[in-house]
A and B are shown apart, each in its own frame.
Chain A
Amino acid sequence: MLDMQHITKVYRTDLVETHALRDFNLAVAEGEFVAVTGPSGSGKTTFLNIAGLLESADGGHYRLDGDDVGALDDDARAGIRNQKIGFIFQGFNLIPDLDVFDNVDVPLRYRGFPARARRARIERSLELVGLAARMQHLPSQLSGGQQQRVAIARAIAGEPRFLLADEPTGNLDSLMARQIMDLLGEINRQGTTIILVTHDPELARRAHRNIHVMDGEVTDLKPFAARAGAAVA
């Protein structure tokens, strides 16, 4: 489903040149739940931004669903983000002026769904995250965990095939974090491919596969089961 080959990304300022990704290679199959771990500054978020078409790579090839998406123009990338990719961010990234219903509605608006279809999808996704009763609330009226669940509802309302989560529990307490991970697990079981960026090994362990990134390169691609077994042995 996702195939990155020799991806490079360099951030340049007048004084500094930072190699965020160097020869980054990764393939993710449909339906996988992949955790990407690594220390701060290792390139996890850059990888996620490129995977989510929020940024473009400086080199290498990126194929999504078999299509080369590396050279697409801005509008085409926006279209793919809208139709195929859901985002969950550490900071929730809800629009503060809009209530819960309207926040979940945002990607559906750009998708061009008619009003009735949008309402049905919004209600369904909010029910799934347990916030159907809070549709009229503003983000500021919700707890952090609730806000993140709204963000998840927004990410899944369009039924994307691919969910990118960047430290989705980073701002939550452990109980809330567990609930969010349970929710992501459930979404994955329903067929959505998930890539989760985290530096929490505990959370990463709940994924099918762990990718460890160091200095902009993938250093470890082992499934958790294999790694756990090796550790025991």
Chain B
Amino acid sequence: MLGYYLRLAWLSLRRTPAITLLMIGAIALGIGATTTTLTVYHRMSTNPIARRNEVLRAVTLDSWSPDQPWDRDHPELPPSEVTYRDAVAIAAGAPAARIVPMRKTSLTAEPGGGRPPFLVIARLATRDFFPMFDVPFAYGTGWDARADRNAEPVVVLSKETNGKLFGGENSVGRVLKLDGREYRVVGVLADWQPTPKFYDLNNGAYDTPEDIFLPFGLGAALDLQPGGNVNCWKSEALAGVHDLFGSNCTWHQLWAELRTPAEVERFQAWIDGYVVEQKKLGRFPRKLNNRLYRPDEWLARHEVVGLDSRVLLLVSFAFLAVCVLNVVGLLLSRFLGAAGSCAIRRALGASRGEIFRQHLVEVGLVGALAGLGGLAIGALGLKALEQLYSSYDRLTQLDLTMTVAAIALAVLAGVLAGLYPAWRICRVQPASYLKTQ
């Protein structure tokens, strides 16, 4: 009967095109607003490394000031980044399947061939960065252990950077000049857009991943400038970048891969022991507070979904509810206007359930059509957000999940709007309408 009901629904909608358009428009507006906010919310709240959630840990150590906590609103939290020397020491000694110290920097790429140089954002990390975070490669691979050990001038390019520099072709083995030095390309990433950029939420949670990736050791070897936040609490003489490496400033991210609870426990014990040793040297003046965070906990700690986003989402749903309520009235008048036809169907043997289902299919169709309209409005809304806030460009992509969700939400909204009118119409007494037909 579904096909029959759909045909009846289509005929019914065509009978009163103005009311039909009003209903579709009302729901589409609500869906458009909801799709816009829900898409941003969905993109913000997604854990892009959910598949590895159980084995990855962001490492934090409370190396902050004895006089004040790192975060006054959350005094129990240690800083979210670590110092260079702690990052290096832990990476060198802590028991873990993989440990990756990393930070952000920037260099000038010189493409040659008369093309002007341009700034590239780089991530300095050890080679485990790529397998640890499931980073896909289009060409080549990450660098080897020797390159890490010797801080060799090798580079991995993002897909976009490879397109910009080498026209998107396989550039493995080609040479790229960065800040006047030559680097050999060892790998080119495939499309990789983790949103939020979970591995470094302190430096633009919604930024695109870096343009290039370099061995971590190059940062110290070449005194590469920090490209992200540098947080210091102690009065230290910092004449230049070089001084930062021995300072108590936190500016590195540190991640570990720990595959079992026992490994987590062992790692936690190791870093606690490390901090106790450092305390003996006069560092870590606060009480022992080293924390490991799974990616989902890390995202929650950084409140990547802000309160304003949540409020906006609620407001958009409230708006959708208002739209649905308006449609209830339209549907009621429309259905009761066609009560005669229902009375005929009831007289000819349709049960109340059949009449109810027939009308639910009709409102479902209204919802589906409104969903398509809502998607168009939502796409416009997302485009407007993108224009208004450049940092939102990666949050405003309407993916398949959101497209399906928008249509499903619209159908649900239509059905919700139609429940009461359909219930009313299925209860008409045929005898009272047939005589007046």
Interface residues of A (CB under 8 A from B): 45, 49, 52, 54-55, 74-75, 78-79, 81-83, 87, 89, 91-98, 106-107, 109-111, 154
Contact B349 A78 (CB under 8 A): yes
Q: In the assembled complex, which residues on chain A have CB atoms less than 8 Å from the CB atom of B1?
A: 109
Separation of A83 and B345 alpha carbons in the complex (Å): 13
Nearest CB of B to A82, in Å: 2
Which residues, 330 to 375 on B, are CB-close (under 8 Å) to A? Answer: 340-341, 344-354
Interface residues of B, dominant DSSP: helix
- Pick the contact of B344: A75, A83, A93 (CB < 8 A): A93
Contact B349 A154 (CB under 8 A): no
Interface membership of B115, Cβ < 8 A:
no
- Pick the contact of B350: A96, A110, A154 (CB < 8 A): A110
Given contacts A45-B435, A49-B431, A54-B430, contact A81 B15 (CB under 8 A): no
Nearest CB of A to B7, in Å: 9
- Pick the contact of B341: A79, A81, A83, A97 (CB < 8 A): A97
Interface membership of B437, Cβ < 8 A:
yes
User: Taking CB as reference atom, which chain A residue is nearest B350?
Assistant: A110
Contact B431 A106 (CB under 8 A): no
- Pick the contact of A87: B348, B351, B352, B353 (CB < 8 A): B348
A-B contact pairs, 17 of them (CB 8 A): A52-B347, A54-B430, A75-B351, A78-B346, A81-B348, A82-B349, A82-B350, A87-B347, A87-B434, A92-B437, A93-B347, A93-B434, A93-B437, A97-B12, A97-B341, A106-B344, A110-B354
User: Taking CB as reference atom, which chain B residue is nearest A97?
Assistant: B11
Q: In the assembled complex, which residues on chain A have CB atoms less than 8 Å from the CB atom of B389?
A: none
Contact A79 B434 (CB under 8 A): no
Contact A106 B430 (CB under 8 A): no
Q: In the assembled complex, which residues on chain B have CB atoms less than 8 Å from the CB atom of A107?
A: 348-349
What sequence of 0s and 1s flags, for each residue 405-435 of chain B, a beta carbon within 8 Å of any chain A beta carbon?
0000000000000000000000001110011
Interface membership of B118, Cβ < 8 A:
no
Contact B352 A154 (CB under 8 A): no
User: Taking CB as reference atom, which chain B residue is nearest A103?
Assistant: B344
Separation of A108 and B411 alpha carbons in the complex (Å): 29
Chain B residues with a Cβ closer than 8 Å to the other chain, count: 26
User: Taking CB as reference atom, which chain A residue is nearest B342?
Assistant: A95
Given contacts A91-B437, A93-B437, A97-B341, contact A79 B347 (CB under 8 A): no
Separation of A197 and B316 alpha carbons in the complex (Å): 58
Separation of A98 and B7 alpha carbons in the complex (Å): 10
Which residues, 299 to 346 on B, are CB-close (under 8 Å) to A? Answer: 340-341, 344-346
Q: In the assembled complex, which residues on chain A have CB atoms less than 8 Å from the CB atom of B431?
A: 49, 54-55
Contact B348 A82 (CB under 8 A): yes
User: Taking CB as reference atom, which chain B residue is nearest A54?
Assistant: B431
- Pairs of residues from A and B, 9 with the lowest C-beta to C-beta distance, nearest first: A82-B349, A107-B348, A54-B431, A91-B437, A110-B349, A49-B431, A97-B11, A78-B351, A75-B351
- Pick the contact of B347: A54, A94, A109 (CB < 8 A): A54
Given A91-B435, A110-B349, 10 more contacts at CB 8 Å?
A49-B431, A54-B429, A55-B429, A74-B351, A79-B351, A82-B349, A91-B437, A93-B344, A106-B350, A109-B4
User: Taking CB as reference atom, which chain A residue is nearest B353?
Assistant: A75
Nearest CB of B to A71, in Å: 17
Contact B345 A106 (CB under 8 A): yes
Q: In the assembled complex, which residues on chain B have CB atoms less than 8 Å from the CB atom of A78?
A: 346, 349-352
Contact B435 A81 (CB under 8 A): no
Q: In the assembled complex, which residues on chain A have CB atoms less than 8 Å from the CB atom of B437?
A: 89, 91-93
Given contacts A93-B437, A106-B344, contact A81 B11 (CB under 8 A): no
Which residues, 15 to 31 on B, are CB-close (under 8 Å) to A? Answer: 15
Q: In the assembled complex, which residues on chain A have CB atoms less than 8 Å from the CB atom of B436?
A: 91
- Pick the contact of A110: B348, B429, B434 (CB < 8 A): B348
Contact B434 A75 (CB under 8 A): no
Q: In the assembled complex, which residues on chain B have CB atoms less than 8 Å from the CB atom of A45?
A: 435
Separation of A96 and B344 alpha carbons in the complex (Å): 11
Contact B349 A79 (CB under 8 A): yes
Q: In the assembled complex, which residues on chain A have CB atoms less than 8 Å from the CB atom of B345?
A: 95, 106, 110
Q: In the assembled complex, which residues on chain B have CB atoms less than 8 Å from the CB atom of A94?
A: 344
Contact A95 B354 (CB under 8 A): no
Separation of A154 and B434 alpha carbons in the complex (Å): 15
Separation of A97 and B342 alpha carbons in the complex (Å): 12
User: Taking CB as reference atom, which chain A residue is nearest B354?
Assistant: A110
Contact B434 A83 (CB under 8 A): no
Give the one of A87, A93, A94, A97 with max B CB within 10 A. Answer: A93
Nearest CB of B to A147, in Å: 11
Q: In the assembled complex, which residues on chain A have CB atoms less than 8 Å from the CB atom of B348?
A: 81-82, 87, 106-107, 110, 154
Q: In the assembled complex, which residues on chain B have CB atoms less than 8 Å from the CB atom of A92?
A: 437
Separation of A204 and B1 alpha carbons in the complex (Å): 40
Given contacts A55-B429, A55-B431, contact A81 B344 (CB under 8 A): no
User: Taking CB as reference atom, which chain B residue is nearest A95?
Assistant: B341
Give the one of B1, B349, B437 with max A CB within 10 A. Answer: B349
Contact B434 A89 (CB under 8 A): yes
Given contacts A54-B434, A91-B437, contact A111 B341 (CB under 8 A): no
Separation of A178 and B267 alpha carbons in the complex (Å): 100
Nearest CB of B to A155, in Å: 9
Separation of A184 and B346 alpha carbons in the complex (Å): 23
Nearest CB of A to B249, in Å: 76
User: Taking CB as reference atom, which chain A residue is nearest B346?
Assistant: A78
Nearest CB of A to B71, in Å: 64
- Pick the contact of B352: A55, A74, A82, A97 (CB < 8 A): A74
Q: In the assembled complex, which residues on chain A have CB atoms less than 8 Å from the CB atom of B347?
A: 52, 54, 81, 87, 93
Separation of A98 and B4 alpha carbons in the complex (Å): 12
Q: In the assembled complex, which residues on chain B have CB atoms less than 8 Å from the CB atom of A97?
A: 8, 11-12, 15, 341
Q: In the assembled complex, which residues on chain A have CB atoms less than 8 Å from the CB atom of B354?
A: 110
Given contacts A97-B11, A97-B12, A109-B4, contact A75 B352 (CB under 8 A): yes
Q: In the assembled complex, which residues on chain A have CB atoms less than 8 Å from the CB atom of B341?
A: 95-97
Contact A83 B352 (CB under 8 A): no
Nearest CB of B to A41, in Å: 13
